[in-house]
Structure 1
């Protein structure tokens, strides 16, 4: 990761997945009515059975692992000729990629041969974020002040990802944890780009001054601006997804009139469930 590209790659990864998770959330909430309705059409049903997310995470972890050890030259050794530890920063990154790959493997199993593993996917996701945050926390020991400050702010975003993912593991029906996890993942992604830009590709072409306290203050402000923009982007992604689903006729949130005992009209949701093959008045189903 000792380059702009090394920070842009994981940044793009988290940004893409944050948007994907939010689109997925909108589709499940609007088109599938929280998992109570079957996907329409053979294509959508086939896609639901494929472990797309797990495969993507696993491939990203493998690519990151290999890239760390090959770019810009092979670095597969742990000890050098003098018997000292070598390429420690590379193996730290490889450890991070390994845990995300493990998360991807569990997701694949939960969607194929081990459906009961679904309840452990969020725990493995939280563990992967924990390992990432711990590695980055100790990654900058002895480095310049700006480098340390940038990565400390990154650790805050990673910690938020871990906490919200852990919240999802214990409260799978609480949608707010899922929305905040998407926001924290997007924040982590955009901040990765900020770290790479400051350290390796400054817009002015000059390195930032470590002795200038105002630089550290500005970076803290920039982190808050990233959060504000990311919240707006998450809302925008959900809004666009909702409009597209509604325009294409995939929205299942419809209403019907219901007569109450006192003769007044009332409104209730008309829903169907995956559990009863389309029979109404089914019990709630948690698809998480």
Structure 2
């Protein structure tokens, strides 16, 4: 982070994962509203762990960019082996990526092991990752007192919503509203990261009276200080308006997608199973993300089932 690419790359990742979850949560709820249980992640047939693998790959790439590729000497330490002050933010950003990597790896391991309540444990690990993200952004070592600080302040609000929805999802796994909020907040995180990268590191898009200043080897958005702070106040107000517009756009996107998917995925007929492949309770499965939550699930037949209700008239 700290550059255009450093914000656009993770922003794209958050946006894609958020849209993926948003689509699948809505689809799953519309198909089976009475049996809906929110999965933490969505497996794909013939590539079950694709989502988690992409999260791990993105996190590893981010860590390498922050600690190896980005630094001028291609290593983050000083000559005496200590962490230089101008590289502290690299370690903070890499730590956020590490938390997401730990979540994805833990979710995959829990699913493979098929331990009891694996879904809840995966959800808690995801909550820890978002808690770390919120903490590190709030206690960031970089100077975020200016217009960049306003972007990060609003970003913390979005991360807090994601964290709250993730924690609530542990206690209320059948709540579609909680899943919808969590997915939408991931989308907004991605959009806001993209906006930060483009608006803060494109000189032509900086607010009037603001400019890029080279500090400690990084370009930082600064505003004029000789006008009594008017340029900074104006820039912060514009950031607030921008966030408001993106929030409204996210709401419109969620509603439009929901209306569209309502037409594509009508509720499935209710069936009563005659034979079940296993006797485990749904809440005790390994990762909680069985084949019923595959993105292609629900398209095939239902197996040996009996349509409910069935009434037989007496002679």
Q: What TM-score do you get using the length of structure 2 for normalisation?
A: 0.71
Structure-2 residue corresponding to 1:66: 64
Q: What TM-score do you get using the length of structure 1 for normalisation?
A: 0.77
* Contact kept? 2:89, 2:141, Cα under 8 Å: no
* Contact kept? 2:144, 2:152, Cα under 8 Å: no
Give 5+ residue unaligned stretches, structure 2: 37-41, 212-221, 290-315
| Equivalent-residue separation in structure 1 for 2:26 and 2:57 (angstroms) | 25
Structure 2 residue 223 is the aligned partner of structure 1 residue 209: yes
Deviations 1:122-165 (A, max 9, x none): 11111111111111112265344111111111111111111111
**Aligned pairs (5 A) from 1:138-287:** 138-139=139-140, 141-204=142-205, 207=211, 209=223, 211=229, 212=231, 213-244=233-264, 246=265, 251-254=266-269, 270-272=270-272, 277=276
Greater alpha carbon shift after TM alignment, 214-223 vs 162-171: 214-223
Deviations 1:77-116 (A, max 9, x none): 3344485635211111111111101110121123222343
Q: Give the CA deviation at 1:45.
A: 9.3
Q: Secondary structure at the match of 1:119?
A: helix
Change (3 A) 1:272 1:195: farther
Q: Give the CA deviation at 1:276.
A: 5.1
Q: Give the CA deviation at 1:193.
A: 1.4
* Contact kept? 1:51, 1:108, Cα under 8 Å: yes
Aligned pairs, number: 256
* Contact kept? 1:19, 1:234, Cα under 8 Å: no
Give 5+ residue unaligned stretches, structure 1: 37-43, 255-269, 279-283
| Equivalent-residue separation in structure 1 for 2:20 and 2:129 (angstroms) | 19
Q: Give the CA deviation at 1:223.
A: 1.1
Q: Secondary structure at the match of 2:45?
A: helix
| Equivalent-residue separation in structure 2 for 1:89 and 1:8 (angstroms) | 17
* Contact kept? 1:27, 1:241, Cα under 8 Å: yes
Q: Give the CA deviation at 1:202.
A: 4.3
Whose helix fraction is larger, Structure 1's or Structure 2's? 1
